[in-house]
Amino acid sequence: MENKAYAIAAGLFVLLLGLALAATVAWFQGDRTERVRYTVVSRSGVPGLNLKSPVKLRGVEVGYVENIGFDPADPRQILVGIAVDASAPVSATTYAQLGLQGVTGLSFVGLEEADANAPLRRAAPGARIALRPTLLDRLAESGPLLLSRFVETADRLNALLSDDNRARLGQALTQFNDTAADTQRLVAALQPAARELPALMKDADGTAQRASAALRQIEGLATEGQQLAQDLRARSAVLERLDAAAAQVQATSRNLELALVGDTAPRTRPLVADLAAASRSVERAADQLGDQPQSLLFGRRGQPPGPGEAGFDERLKAGAR
């Protein structure tokens, strides 16, 4: 009887110990974190996503997937219920994307901020979060279009690289090679001229400076010529007035000579003769100044030597040349 009592006591002890261990494990495995529920809306598929799949906010795990199903209002949409830690900063601009968990093929829900610099405005509990396609999803959707364009590009390359075009390309390359050789020879021929070019430029610079100095001298001579022309015009005007005065004096002297000629005025004849001689002298001077106005500036030139005079032979030789 005593053995049976010990056996019952031992069995009860083991049973109670097992229940305590199960309660402890259940206690530690229980999730007592406060969660907020959101709904992720997807217009495309959610491959690799399962219940209890993790939910990560900018790479940090903040929750898990509670349920997956089609939208009763629009069967083309998939609704994914997620439970997220209440302390997670899920804003009204947060969007979701599917990510791969290593090489297992399983997916997780990644939450990202549309504008990380904007002020945080938390999303209301139960709010719907749009699921955006990833880069791989966009590539998969545009794969047939890319493939068709690749085939079209390959066809065009085949048409471009036909036998005729390859022959023409070979001819063009040959001509290009000949042109390069001609250019090299031309450059070799121009190298001596290029080496002499600095000296030529220096000579051209010196020539330009001398030409500039000559132009300045010509401008000075032109200024002096203008002044000399003005002086000559002034002196010509004086000569014209002197010529007019001489003509008037000559006319006056002739009138006096005619008026005083006769026996009745013998005393006035010498005076009239002197006046006539003076008028003729003035007339000759005016004629000489009219012929050689430069004599006022440079003096009268001497008469050329005549036959038998010194310098006559040299003048004849100069005239013959």
* CA dist., res. 114 & res. 126, Å (int): 19
* CA dist., res. 311 & res. 316, Å (int): 9
- 191 pLDDT exceeds 50? yes
* CA dist., res. 256 & res. 101, Å (int): 146
Query: What is the number of H-type helices and E-type strands within the chain?
Result: 7, 7
Integer CA distances (angstroms), 170 to 153, 161, 165, 184, 233, in order: 23, 12, 9, 21, 83
* CA dist., res. 207 & res. 213, Å (int): 10
Task: Please give the single-letter amino acid code of residue 244.
Answer: A
Digit-coded pLDDT (tens) for 143-166: 778 788 888 888 888 877 777 877
Digit-coded pLDDT (tens) for 194-238: 777 777 777 777 777 887 887 787 777 767 667 766 766 766 666
Give the residue with greater pLDDT, 29 vs 177: 177
Comparing C-alpha atoms, which of 57, 59, 60, 66 is closest to residue 38?
66
- 102 pLDDT exceeds 80? no
Task: Give backbone dihedrals phi and psi of 301, rounded to 5 degrees, phi first.
Answer: -80, 145
pLDDT value of position 318: 61
Residue the block writes with tokens 């406060």:
34
Beta strands 78-85; 60-70: pairing state: antiparallel
Name residue 38's beta-bridge partners. Answer: 82
Give the residue with greater pLDDT, 193 vs 106: 106
Digit-coded pLDDT (tens) for 239-280: 676 666 666 666 666 666 565 554 444 555 555 566 666 666
Q: Summarize the confidence of residues 130-147 as an average pLDDT.
A: 78
Give the residue with greater pLDDT, 281 vs 126: 126
pLDDT value of position 151: 84
* Percentage of residues of the chain with pLDDT beyond 70: 65
Digit-coded pLDDT (tens) for 25-64: 666 665 567 889 999 999 888 888 899 999 999 888 999 9
Average pLDDT, the chain: 76
pLDDT value of position 81: 93
